[in-house]
Structure 1
Amino acid sequence: MGIANDDAVKQFECLMEGVDESLKQTFQNMHQGYPTETLTRFLRAREWNVDKAHKMLVDALNWRVQNEIDNILTKPILPAELYRKVRESALIGLSGYSKEGMPVIAVGVGHSTYDKASVHYYVQSHIQLNEYRDRIILPMASEKYGRPISTCIKVLDMTGLKFSALNQVKLLTVITTIDDLNYPEKTDTYYIVNAPYIFSACWKVVRPLLQERTRKKIQVLQGCGKDDLLKIMDYASLPHFCKREGSGSSRHSRNGMIDNCFSVDHPFHQELYNYVKQQSNPTPPLKQGSFHVAFPEPDANDARIAKTIESEFHRLEDQKDQNGLVRSLSKQLSDLDIKIN
């Protein structure tokens, strides 16, 4: 890391010795035996400014305590049919591991609708996925590969992205803000695949607004990205939408639901759901309300990015409507000309 960075970690460690015992306890759940790596993540998120990183981590720990995040893996989403609806409308899953041992998280951005449950269920499910990743998946990977593994790779499938996605911007802003403030630097690289025109147009205006550190993490791949992704992972770990030529499909897989890592029947989701049910004490209720979590306010730059995306979607939609009107008028004039002649 370098001498300066090592000194920053040591200063950070000294500051953490003075926090309340309740925060130290939840910090253990957060770092899972790797406190130095966790402190380093928060330092990176605040450009190695120790005071800012310390405030960020203390705020995150207070958020965990106040919202009982340490217990969220004991709160199953019930009934099972509701959980199925959440999974079918918020497409995410674990497809495998990179050659370096990092979990490969697949996200079906284009086909996710987030319209089958309240926002609180989607937030609850997202945090449970984060906590299961950090408490179960990453420690298992670290043990298997014999070194600390604290980050994952995300492959984002843009297949099916439409103007209606504008309705999801606010929910996605909530989820992104929770990740930025409480789970910083957990993703090593974001790979964008199957990007349609609407994404490319938005990316041009959003990219300059991102911090350089974030921009470097995002790679937009050609087509389904198979050739590029095979350089960092085996074929078996490719998300199902990357295993075919041409545009992918987040919803369907030729090899059935077992290959589709978004499916509630996929082994990853079955293991996660069964784990949460087993952790619930003494037995899960037949029906349960959503686990409400306080939504943090996005920082000014994140709010500006969300507003920019919203404005660009509106502009593209207006442009599409105008083009459609022009085509309609042209056809009508063409039909009229034929009739006159």
Structure 2
Amino acid sequence: MSATVAANTTMSGAAAASTYSPPPGRLGNLTPAQAEALAKFAGELRAEGAFVEGRHDDATLLRFLRARKFDVPKTKEMFLACEKWRKDFGVDELVKSFEFSERAEVDKYYPQYYHNMDKSGRPIYIERIGNLNVKALYACTSLERLLQQLVVEYESFLTMRIPACSATIGHPVETSLTILDLGGVSLSNFIRVKDYIAAATHIGQNYYPECMGAFYIINAPWAFTAVWAAIKPWLDEVTVKKVHILGGPSAYKPELLAQIDKEALPKQFGGACECVGGCSLSDVGPWNPAGCKGSPTASALMEKMALEQPAHGQIISA
């Protein structure tokens, strides 16, 4: 990287940090009523012995408050239901002991992975269901293990990925950018995996609210109207507004590249990244700069991120 390019990228990163303003309803941008709701919510949880130090920080409580429009009774109902689910599902134990040993095999039939971050610092999450082979998928794993892996990834997102992205971009990051690739999808395949998708959607909305910043559905076929009609009822109105449904490469490439550096986006989606062993298994990003496999493109991107990192970045705790 030349000195000129290094200087330019450093200035652009510093400029991004200096112009950052917390979105409404986040720490640093609460109305008096929202701040009062946060204090009331936290106080009630503490009084009832339901507050867990370290895990229940203000950013976490605000995610639930935003999901229920700062209605404290409704938020508390949602939050306590989540805490019960965490205990019943065994989340804390899963985080300590779960191993998804079939990851490489599952990746052949249903790739689901994090890969780098977008221009706003959000981790990029990608799913591809076009080539889904349900029979082969459930021959190497199960619905239960797929959901356990999903939950472990959500926990990693909160405790590892967004703190690393926050440090790299220089301001708090709380959400992800999701890409759902429907290239080659068939309605019959979707129907066969709908139980997993419905369960995964329920977990995301109810137990990990306000984690999705943008959702790009690409390579959407003409039959997607039927699929979308099946999915939409599972989603709340706030989530639906974050969804962008796009067609083929000519439609989605400009949209994705407006949000994601070319070096951060896998080549198959119009980017330049080609991780050795495949982007879907690399887990490359600020949380794992080298990735599971070496990648010259990823290494160059990490160098660029390091140069752009402001001297005093803020990290949002999870």
TM (norm. structure 1) is: 0.66
- Paired with 1:111 and 1:204, the residues of 2 have a C-alpha distance of 21
* 1:1-341 to 2 correspondences below 5 Å: 1-20=30-49, 23-25=50-52, 28-29=54-55, 31=56, 35-77=57-99, 80=101, 82-112=102-132, 113=134, 114-115=137-138, 116-162=140-186, 163-203=188-228, 207=232, 210-224=235-249, 225-243=252-270, 255=274, 257-258=276-277, 260-263=278-281, 266-268=282-284
Instruction: Using structure 2 for the length normalisation, give the TM-score.
Output: 0.71
In structure 1, the gaps of 5 or more residues are 245-252, 276-341
Distance 1:204-1:169 versus aligned 2 partners, 3 A rule: closer
- The alpha carbon displacement at 1:209 in A equals 7.8
- Residues 1:205 and 1:63: Cα distance change in structure 2 (over 3 Å): closer
Query: Displacement, 1:210?
Result: 4.9
Q: Distance between the aligned counterparts of 2:219 and 2:116, measured in 1?
A: 20
Separation in structure 2 between the aligned mates of residue 12 and residue 120 of structure 1, nearest angstrom: 33
Identical aligned pairs, as a percentage? 25
C-alpha spacing 1:67/1:209, structure 2 compared with 1 (3 Å): closer
SS in 2 for 1:226: helix
Task: Pick closer, same or farther for the CA change 1:201–1:41 going to 2, 3 Å.
Answer: same
Provide Cα deviations, 1:127-184, integer angstroms capped at 9, x if missing partner: 1111111111111112223332111110110112112221111121111111111101
Q: Which amino acid in the other structure matches residue 58 of structure 1?
A: L
Counterpart code for 1:230: L
Cα distance in structure 1, aligned partners of 2:276 and 2:91: 31
Distance of 1:99 and 1:4 partners within structure 2:
32
Amino acid of the structure 1 residue aligned with 2:197: L
Q: Distance in 1 between matches of 2:150 and 2:106?
A: 10
Query: CA-to-partner distance for each residue in 1:74-126, whole Å, 9 max, x for gaps?
Result: 22436x4x332233333111221111111111111323444231111111111
The structure whose Rg is larger is 1
Distance 2:48 2:156 in 1: 25
RMSD value over aligned CA atoms?
A: 3.0
Residues 24, 148 of structure 1: alpha-carbon distance in 2 compared, 3 angstrom cutoff: same
Distance 1:240 1:199, change over 3 A: farther
Asked if the contact 1:86–1:122 (Cα under 8 Å) also holds between the matched residues in 2, the reply is no
Q: Deviations over 1:31-52 (max 9, x none)?
A: 5xxx222122111212321111
Instruction: Show structure 2 runs of 5+ residues with no match.
Output: 1-29, 293-318
